[in-house]
């Protein structure tokens, strides 16, 4: 399926003329780099073991020096913290654990003085069951005139074979178990796509929508620069609530993404949200697309050629679901580099064709560390992998999203036993498997080590001191691994070859070369199992990026692809030493090496994409 016809037609017209879409002026959020701060794990300033808003403010210069432009805060709203703040109890109050509104105002002022913008993560699909709205809704279910009786998704349920009351359907929650919980006060089931303490809001009700819009405007009026909208594509559900098709053979509960992801009214709701809120401010909106979205569907959310606008950017998950078997996070599968390249080629092409813009990311608060997932955590390769992945992320077309600690080369701890995890999703999964046979338990332990969300929630390592400088004299809310000494910020600042300084370099380079911002992307030799190679082209400017995703040296040639390496200029490598001689073809690309070349202008526009790299054995 191509870009939707009405969008494609308008996009084709826009491309006519010199430069086409790539010649258009970029918005500020397209040239920016976003840095995600997991507030409870960033920096503790009041010695309670949990990070806070002041911890961000006091380290604003660190972020500015890194070269980022937008600070993305995870939820700081009042919350019971059942799901690290994504269970909101009040949309216009700060969680006292993180600070006060005065602290927030000071952060905004300080960030703006440094030329940085700030956005907040907000969940509009659900609230905590401790939210006053839910309490009123639950209490008024039996009152036909109750003012908030329909602000959440309620259902009387069905009658089972033995006459007992059972949930309305076979939908499984994202955290395991039924997506429905019976509430004795209401006498009905409420829906929760996530945990049972996170009740789904009924977006069919206009009153609750307007209250949400009011809350968002309140934050924007305080100077906020936008929002990351958590699982925003889940706000519209099929109101018939049909059973989900069988994906897990013989299982009582089934994934129901088909009935609640990208639902029938999602675009109507987002257009209304844009008209009521977003259109009135110069902000950026980033929508998280949970439970799957294709590049074709993305155009419906993003394309500027639609008659009504919705979002600026979205976060898709295709590339990080390569290691999921049959859509099950905890069922691991081996993946090939060719699959990763094919996914990104599709997204890069579709976004350009439809006049849309990508986000570029590899880890966040819900995902494991990118080094551990896409390459290797082996100590001798760790630094090379971190820098190579930074080059991959920052030289494609789109807005990079960097997660805290990524710029330090942090990896999955590897030392957490299942019982040490605090994340609700991981805890629920472990509870469901810990009493099974030994083989299944071992598979579960491996899956948790590789995919558990707490992998990226450990505190930031600032210095070699107690708790790596995150907090002092108190126990941190999450354990701090003892093996991060060499990777802490203070030790990397003064090392010109550190991962931190490489990120500083690549982020500035991205902004200083217009082709790395505006240029088209052509991914080469997709079948090749070792290298990820692509061309960035803008007018007469051309750049070649060669990335070795393997632990052995690779021979790569530009011959037969009409890529002339004569006079090629090496702009950046993640290895310190390079021969001063002219670039030779074929290139010998060292293990996990990344190379960024500026090519001389005038090469043909189209190049073949056949396999042109060979693995050199005995080179590890």
* Residues labelled catalytic: 230, 288
E strand segments, 176-289? 180-183, 188-191, 198-200, 226-230, 284-288
Q: Which residues have a Cβ under 8 Å from the Cβ of 120 and sit 6 or more positions away?
A: 72, 73, 75, 76, 219, 224, 227, 228
d(C-alpha 25, C-alpha 115), whole Å: 20
d(C-alpha 215, C-alpha 124), whole Å: 11
- For residue 114, the tally of other CB atoms under 10 A from its CB is 12
* Residues β-bridged to residue 328: 325
Query: Which structure tokens are listed for 47?
Result: 């010695």
3-state secondary structure 204-229: CCHHHHHHHHHHHHHHHHCCCCEEEE
Map tokens 């952060």 to a residue.
107
d(C-alpha 21, C-alpha 338), whole Å: 28
Map tokens 């209401």 to a residue.
186
Map tokens 């050629």 to a residue.
305
Bridge-based pairing of strands 226-230 and 117-123 is parallel
d(C-alpha 375, C-alpha 363), whole Å: 13
Under 8 Å between Cβ of 232 and 125: yes
Q: What helix, strand, coil percent values describe the chain, rounded to 5?
A: 35, 20, 50
Determine the number of helices (DSSP H) and then strands (DSSP E) in the chain: 18, 27
């Amino acid at each position: 399926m191509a870009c939707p016809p009405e969008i494609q037609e308008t996009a084709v017209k826009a491309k006519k003329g010199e430069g086409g879409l790539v010649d258009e002026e970029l918005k500020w959020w397209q040239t920016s780099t976003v840095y995600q701060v997991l507030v409870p794990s960033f920096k503790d300033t009041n010695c309670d073991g949990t990070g806070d808003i002041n911890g961000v403010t006091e380290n604003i210069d660190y972020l500015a020096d890194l070269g980022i432009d937008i600070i993305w805060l995870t939820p700081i709203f009042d919350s019971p913290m059942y799901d690290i703040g994504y269970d909101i109890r009040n949309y216009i109050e700060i969680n006292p654990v993180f600070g006060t509104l005065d602290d927030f105002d000071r952060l905004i002022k300080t960030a703006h003085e440094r030329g940085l913008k700030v956005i907040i993560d907000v969940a509009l699909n659900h609230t905590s069951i401790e939210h006053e709205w839910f309490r009123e809704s639950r209490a008024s279910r039996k009152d036909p005139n109750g003012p908030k009786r329909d602000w959440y998704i309620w259902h009387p349920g069905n009658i089972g074979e033995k006459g007992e009351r059972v949930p309305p359907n076979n939908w499984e929650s994202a955290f395991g178990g039924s997506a429905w919980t019976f509430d004795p006060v209401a006498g009905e089931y409420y829906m929760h796509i996530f945990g049972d303490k996170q009740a789904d809001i009924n977006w069919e009700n206009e009153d609750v929508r307007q209250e949400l819009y009011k809350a968002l405007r309140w934050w924007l009026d305080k100077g906020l620069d936008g929002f990351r909208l958590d699982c925003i594509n889940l706000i519209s559900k099929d109101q018939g609530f049909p059973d989900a098709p069988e994906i897990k053979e013989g299982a009582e509960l089934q994934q129901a993404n088909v009935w609640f992801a990208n639902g029938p009214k999602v675009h109507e709701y987002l257009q209304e949200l844009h008209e009521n809120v977003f259109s009135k401010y110069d902000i950026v909106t980033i929508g998280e697309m949970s439970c799957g979205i294709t590049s074709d569907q993305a155009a419906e959310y993003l394309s500027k050629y639609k008659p009504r606008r919705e979002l600026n950017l979205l976060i898709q998950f295709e590339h990080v679901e390569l290691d999921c078997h049959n859509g099950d996070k905890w069922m691991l599968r081996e993946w090939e580099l060719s699959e990763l390249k094919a996914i990104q080629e599709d997204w890069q092409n579709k976004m350009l064709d439809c006049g849309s813009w990508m986000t570029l990311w590899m880890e966040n608060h819900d995902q494991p560390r990118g080094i551990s997932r896409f390459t290797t955590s082996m100590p001798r390769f760790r630094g090379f992998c971190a820098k190579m992945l930074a080059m991959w992320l920052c030289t494609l077309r789109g807005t990079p999203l960097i997660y805290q600690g990524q710029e330090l080369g942090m990896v999955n701890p590897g030392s957490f036993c299942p019982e040490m995890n605090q994340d609700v999703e991981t805890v629920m999964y472990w509870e469901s498997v810990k009493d099974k046979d030994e083989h299944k338990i071992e598979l579960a332990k491996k899956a948790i080590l590789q995919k558990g969300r707490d992998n990226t929630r450990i505190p930031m390592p600032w210095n070699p001191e107690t708790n790596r400088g995150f907090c002092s004299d108190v126990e941190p809310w999450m354990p701090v691994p003892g093996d991060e000494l060499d990777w802490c910020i203070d030790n990397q600042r003064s090392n010109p070859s550190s991962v931190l300084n490489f990120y500083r370099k690549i982020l500035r380079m991205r902004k200083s070369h217009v082709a790395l911002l505006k240029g088209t992307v052509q991914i080469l030799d997709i079948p090749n199992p070792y290298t990820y190679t692509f061309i960035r082209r803008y007018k007469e400017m051309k750049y070649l990026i060669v990335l070795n995703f393997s632990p052995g040296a690779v021979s790569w040639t530009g011959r037969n692809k009409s890529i002339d390496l004569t006079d090629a200029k090496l702009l950046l490598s993640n290895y310190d030493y390079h021969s001063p001689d002219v670039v030779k073809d074929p290139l010998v690309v060292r293990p996990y090496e990344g190379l960024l070349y500026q090519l001389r202008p005038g090469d043909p526009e189209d190049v073949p994409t056949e396999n042109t790299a060979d693995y050199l054995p005995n080179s590890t």
